[in-house]
Structure formats: C-alpha cells, structure tokens
Structure 1
Amino acid sequence: MIRTLLVDDELLVRSGLRMILEAAPDIEVVGEGGDGDEAVRLAGELTPDVVLLDIRMPGTDGITAAAMLAGLPEPPRVVLLTTFDLDEYVHGALRAGAVGFLLKDTPPRDLIAAVRTVHEGNAMLAPRVTKRMLERFASPAPADSATRRAQARRRLSQLSERERSVLVAVAQGRSNAQIGRELGMREATVKAHVSRILAKVGLANRVQAAILAHDAGWA
C-alpha cells in the first residue's frame, strides 16, 4: 500500500482528495493536516510514502514545508497542489525538493496515477506546467542560453557515458522501467544510476536533473 498524507487548510478539499485516493486499491490515506507545521509533524509520526501538500496555507506554506520534509530521516515523496500554475511556485517547489507539482483541477484518474508515479521514484508535473517549462528552456536569450549551457555541461562533465544516457532518458520523461527497456538494464540498475547522478551533481530529484540536462542541450 502507498501510505499517503493529505495537507490542505480546507477540509472540503482534503475530503475530496481522500475520497478519490481511497477509491484506489493500492493507496491508503494515513492522515490529514491543515498547515505546513502539521505536515512536518505528521510526516515524522506516520512516515508516509507520499505527501500531497497545498502550497498556499496560513502559517507555514507548502514550499517551506516541502523543504522541511526533505530534511527528515525518512523523507516522503512530496507532491505540491495548487489552484495556480505561476512559474515562481513551480521553481520554488523544485528548489524545495518536491518531486511533483499538480493543479487542483487534475482529474481523479490522473491524481491517482501521480501518486503511484512519484512513489515509484519518478517525477510528476502537471502537463501544462511541463509544457510551459519546456518552452521556457527552448527559447532563452542567446547570451543567456550559451552561459547556461556551458555551466550545465561543466556540472555534468563528471558523469560516465552510461549515466549520461540515463540522464538524457530522464530528461525525455522516461520512467525507470522504460529506460531499462531502452538501455538493456534492470529497473533496479536504472534507479541506482539515477541516485548516483543526483549525488554526483548535487541535485534533489529527477525534475532538477531533467532541467539541468535541458540546460546542457542534451534533451
């Protein structure tokens, strides 16, 4: 079972999320909270696999809480939820270590799929958020593009050829299972490669790695 914690300051929203998620046979909602401080406290007590976390909450907001959750001894996979898709929220979420960013109007089936995806170790961004981010990377100013590409390639120069191949596939949105099939590796081996890539380059998650690969012009 995928142990999931729901955190939103609106009880009605939490109730709706619980109803959707508990309709899935492999997801269990183990707790609910109303703000970022509760998210951190409950995550420490309940050790959920996945936390669905609202961004805009009174007191400690979702992005601050995501960064705090990343520092726990057993950090959960954090998916941030919002009614907005403003760029500063997406960038703040990724910097805080979140592995998912979804809009609250995400269809129920897609919400369940997102929880499963991040639990498997993959990242999940709302489709229209992903489209905007890729457009942003595809058309920077020429000077900015050249500088960013050089910086990204310097950071990635320490990767082996195999790690580079894995990173390119990650940046193209492939899951671990898909990468394994394409590169002739076991899924566990792909996971190990991804972990080494993140450690070598000093990144928190696959989304950040994908962005860096895009910066380098690898994908």
Structure 2
Amino acid sequence: MMVAIVEYGAGNIRSLTNAIERIGEDYVVTSDPSLISTASHIVLPGVGQAASVICGIEERNLTNLIRSLSSPVLGICIGMQVLCSYSEEGDTGLLDVLDNRVVKLRSPGLKIPHMGWNRITGLRGPLFESIPEGEWFYFVHSYAPEISLDTVATTDYGGKFSSALNRRNFYGVQFHPEKSGQAGERFLKNFFNIDDRDGYSE
C-alpha cells in the first residue's frame, strides 16, 4: 500500500506525516499525477483559505485528476472543504465532488475560529469503526460544510455542521485526525483499511 499526500501549497503537513509514520504506512508527498493516480489511498491535507488552495490545485493541473480518482480519497480540514461545491470564504467555486456548501460558522457568543477539542456525533460508515459516539477530535476552522445527505458525522458549535462527509470513494473530515491522539490514529487506520471494493456510500 502507498499513500499519496497531495502537495498543493496548503501549509505544514508534518503532524500528518508523523501520524502516518506512527501507524506504519508508506507514503509520498507529491503533486505528480502519475504517483497520485496509482496510489492506494490519497490524502488532501492542510490548512489555508479556499481560494488559495483551489489556485494551488489548478496551478498543478490536478483539478480533473482529483475529480476522477477511484481510490479512497480523504480530505482533511481545507482538504475536505475543497471537495465541496462552493465556499462562502472568498465566494469560491470548489471541486464539486461533494454536494455541500461551505459556510462561515455562525456561533453567537463563541469564539471564531472554532479551535480545540469537540465531540463528533451521528457516526456512520467505515471511517468510524471502533470509534464511540461522542468521541473527541481536534478542530481549527472558521468555515464548515452544511449538513446534507453525504454527512456521516456532525459537530455542534453554536449550531450543527458536517464534521465528516462521504460520497462513493471520497471522504472528508473537518477535524484534524493527525492532532487527535489515539482516536485520530484509529480513524486514520480505518481510512487506510478501506479499499476500492468496499465502504462506499451512494
């Protein structure tokens, strides 16, 4: 198995590579289409602004490649958001793989960005095997996808948002599993245990 972490200028990914190393999986950080298309699993990582990340993807000619991937794909934080259809952040069109709008958190009386530990609930699907309802994960974000039919976990921060999405082989999480301790490592193991023959929702 080889994991491709897609490099598109989305910030520091050291905590992610450290987590994958602890799990014991082989990985490559790359923007090479041939390496991405032949990887067993693909991760879209990072932090940043939607428009700049989309620009980085387009500059590397990865837009159509990402949309056409058939191996399991995991977007983390901004990596999940760019898989959606639209973001209020900069009025930005996204990759439109997941039919979700990304909206600014509206949490009166709560600090934005949402930063720190919070619970995930309503868990569905193979990503959450052996992860209990209400488990704590680490978040850092000001925008999040709305709830839709693709939602497989939610989080409440002055209102509920999608903390995990799944459509076919595309998965996304708003939290950072690589910064979420043992629960995060369990989550990453679950993703790496998904192959292109199972685990997909329609």
Structure with max Cα Rg = 1
The TM-score with structure 2 as length reference comes to 0.42
**TM-score scaled to structure 1, two decimals?**
0.39
Q: Which has the larger strand fraction?
A: 2
Q: Which has the higher helix share?
A: 1
